[in-house]
Copies of this chain bind each other. A is one copy, B any other.
Amino acid sequence: MTKKRPAILVVNDDGITAPGIKVLIEEMQKIGDVTVVAPEGPQSGTGHAITIGKPLRIDRIYIYPEVEMYKCSGTPVDCVKLAVNKVFKGRKPDICVSGINHGLNNSINVLYSGTMSAAVEGAIEDIPSIGFSYDDLEYDADFTRCRPYVSAITKQVLANKLQKGTLLNVNFPKGHIKGIKICRQADAKWAEEFDERTDPSNRSYYWLTGVFQLRDRGEDTDVWALHNEYASIVPVQFDMTAHHAIPELNSWDFEV
Chain A interfacial positions (CB closer than 8 Å to B)? 42, 44-53, 55-58, 75, 77-78, 81-82, 84-86, 108, 110-112, 117, 120, 124-125, 148-149, 152-153, 156, 160, 162-163, 165-166, 168, 179-180, 182, 184-185, 187, 189, 192-194, 197, 203-208, 233-246, 248-250, 252-256
Contact = CB atoms under 8 A, between A and B. Distances in A.
A223 to B, nearest CB: 13
Contact of A166 (B153, B203, B245): B245
A53 B86 CA distance: 29
Q: How many copies of this kind of chain does the complex include?
A: 2
Given A45-B51, A163-B245, A256-B148, A56 B108 contact: no
Nearest to A149: B256
A124 B149 contact: no
26 contacts: A45-B51, A46-B47, A47-B77, A48-B49, A55-B197, A57-B204, A57-B205, A58-B206, A77-B112, A81-B194, A108-B124, A111-B238, A148-B256, A149-B254, A149-B256, A153-B254, A156-B253, A165-B187, A179-B256, A182-B249, A184-B243, A185-B241, A187-B239, A234-B241, A237-B242, A238-B240
